[in-house]
């Protein structure tokens, strides 16, 4: 199958391109390279440098390649930036998705897998968080993803759009073969930040060590990027029956604290990881962990590589040996 990959040069999208090729599909990538890397796209895939809201470009792609499905990874994803520049998030994450959907429907493409986020849940009311947990985002990034989820639900009801929405928890790690990984200039996720600080001999900051957790630091659910992508490829089979609208968490169901991550980096690097304790950040929660019951029931999906050691080891190898 020919599959349009919006944001296919980014961290998760570029690995999805490789795994789709492995499965015998043709990924057709559109990416503006604002954060993605052209070097991440294998020669066997088709690549277009452009905006996901470029209607003329989308028309030409759908006409030429007859893509029957879309995987939509393209988005701005910084919580902090979304608070100071919400306009960028509603434009990029919401408005541009509307253009993509319009062009899809013009070409009778009614299958989409959308990358959402656990940030739509807001403050956890109970743990583990399942898909029935109330949705109440506390920042414009999470709100922008919730808006798109609502749009997709309405398009399913009104126009018969088949859709799978994946709510990622903390996607992390790098490909097992070392060919792709996270490469943003501005590191925001904990593991890449700690690795960069280690490389540059800087202290990492723990934002509070007085949380209600065993070691006093925040606990998060880290899921390996290989497992995230395997769920996307597996979800393609759901569309065979039609009438599909599913919202699915992607997490490991295991919580790892900030100190756990620092210890894992120290073990992988065989170096001491320097850190200092700073103040809590507004909007942080003590613990966030996913329920993976629906992913297992619907897709037969269980994470294979999401133990913290594998996540950190692959991230470490990528950071210090990356190809681009």
pLDDT digits (tens, 9 = 90+) for 234-281: 999 999 989 999 999 999 999 999 999 999 999 999 999 999 999 999
* 20 and 74 together in one domain: yes
Q: Token pair for residue 288?
A: 């966030």
Answer yes or no: is 261 within a domain: yes
The CA distances from residue 264 to 219, 273, 280, 309, 319, in Å, are 14, 10, 22, 6, 15
| Total Cβ atoms within 10 A of residue 81 | 17
Give the domain extent around 209. Answer: 190-220+253-289+305-321
pLDDT given for residue 132 in this prediction: 99
Q: Which residue has the tokens 């639900």?
A: 153
State the Cα torsion 147-151-156-160 to the nearest 10°: -150
Question: What's the CA gap between 197 and 219, in Å, rounded?
Answer: 20
Which residues fall within 8 angstroms of residue 278, CB to CB, at 6 or more apart? Answer: 205, 206, 207, 208
* 39 and 151 together in one domain: yes
* 215 and 117 together in one domain: no
* 55 and 95 together in one domain: yes
Does the annotation mark 316 as catalytic?
Answer: no
pLDDT digits (tens, 9 = 90+) for 121-132: 999 999 999 999
134-156 mean pLDDT: 98
pLDDT digits (tens, 9 = 90+) for 200-241: 999 999 999 999 999 999 999 999 999 999 999 999 999 998
pLDDT given for residue 323 in this prediction: 87
Answer yes or no: is 299 within a domain: no
Answer yes or no: is 180 within a domain: no
Answer yes or no: is 196 within a domain: yes
CATH number for the domain spanning 216: value is 3.90.25.10
* 51 and 71 together in one domain: yes
- Please choose, from the candidates 43, 16, 40, the residue with its C-alpha nearest in 3D space to the C-alpha of residue 115: 16
| Domains contained in the chain, number | 2
Question: At 17, is the pLDDT very low, low, confident or very high (cuts 50, 70, 90)?
Answer: very high
pLDDT given for residue 234 in this prediction: 98
Q: Find the catalytic residue in 11, 89, 121, 141.
A: 141
* 18 and 65 together in one domain: yes
- Please choose, from the candidates 41, 22, 36, 5, the residue with its C-alpha nearest in 3D space to the C-alpha of residue 179: 41
Answer yes or no: is 276 within a domain: yes
pLDDT, averaged across the chain: 97
Answer yes or no: is 183 within a domain: no
pLDDT digits (tens, 9 = 90+) for 75-120: 999 999 999 999 999 999 999 999 999 999 999 999 999 999 999 9
* 90 and 142 together in one domain: yes
* 242 and 272 together in one domain: no
* 83 and 199 together in one domain: no
Q: Which residue has the tokens 């928890």?
A: 169
pLDDT given for residue 261 in this prediction: 99
* 210 and 104 together in one domain: no
Answer yes or no: is 12 within a domain: yes
* 159 and 280 together in one domain: no
Query: Higher pLDDT residue, 188 or 318?
Result: 318
* 124 and 213 together in one domain: no
Per-residue buried b or exposed e for 262-294, using 16+ beta carbons within 10 Å of the residue's own CB:
bbbbeebbeeebebeeeeeeeeeebbbbbbbeb
Answer yes or no: is 111 within a domain: yes
Q: What are phi and psi of 88, to 5 degrees?
A: -65, -35
CATH number for the domain spanning 65: value is 3.40.50.720
pLDDT digits (tens, 9 = 90+) for 180-193: 999 877 778 999 99
């Amino acid at each position: 199958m020919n599959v349009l990959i919006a944001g296919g040069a980014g961290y998760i999208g570029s690995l999805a391109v490789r795994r789709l090729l492995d499965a015998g599909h043709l990924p057709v990538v559109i990416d503006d390279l604002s954060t993605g890397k052209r070097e991440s796209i294998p020669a066997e895939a088709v690549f277009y440098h452009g905006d996901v809201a470029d209607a003329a470009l989308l028309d030409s792609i759908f006409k030429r390649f007859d893509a029957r499905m879309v995987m939509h990874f393209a988005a701005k994803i910084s919580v902090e930036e979304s608070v100071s520049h919400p306009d960028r998030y509603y434009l990029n994450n919401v408005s541009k998705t509307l253009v993509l959907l319009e062009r899809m429907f013009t070409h009778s493409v009614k299958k989409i897998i959308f990358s959402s986020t656990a940030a739509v849940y807001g403050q956890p009311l109970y743990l583990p968080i399942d898909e029935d947990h109330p949705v109440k985002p506390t920042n414009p990034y999470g709100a922008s993803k919730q808006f798109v989820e609502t749009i997709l639900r309405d398009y399913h009801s009104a126009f018969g759009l088949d859709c799978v929405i994946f709510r990622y928890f903390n996607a992390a790690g790098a490909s097992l073969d070392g060919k792709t990984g996270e490469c943003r200039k501005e590191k925001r996720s904990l593991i890449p930040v700690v690795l960069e600080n280690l490389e540059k001999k800087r202290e990492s900051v723990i934002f509070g060590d007085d949380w209600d957790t065993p070691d006093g630091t925040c606990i998060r659910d880290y899921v390996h990027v290989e497992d995230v992508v395997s769920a996307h490829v597996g979800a393609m089979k759901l569309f065979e029956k039609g009438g599909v609208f599913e919202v699915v968490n992607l997490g490991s169901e295991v919580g790892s604290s900030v100190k756990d991550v620092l210890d894992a980096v120290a073990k992988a690097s065989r170096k001491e990881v320097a850190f200092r304790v700073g103040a809590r950040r507004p909007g942080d929660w003590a613990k966030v962990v996913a329920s993976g019951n629906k992913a297992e029931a619907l897709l037969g999906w269980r994470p294979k590589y999401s133990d913290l050691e594998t996540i950190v080891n692959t991230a470490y190898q990528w950071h210090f040996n990356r190809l681009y």
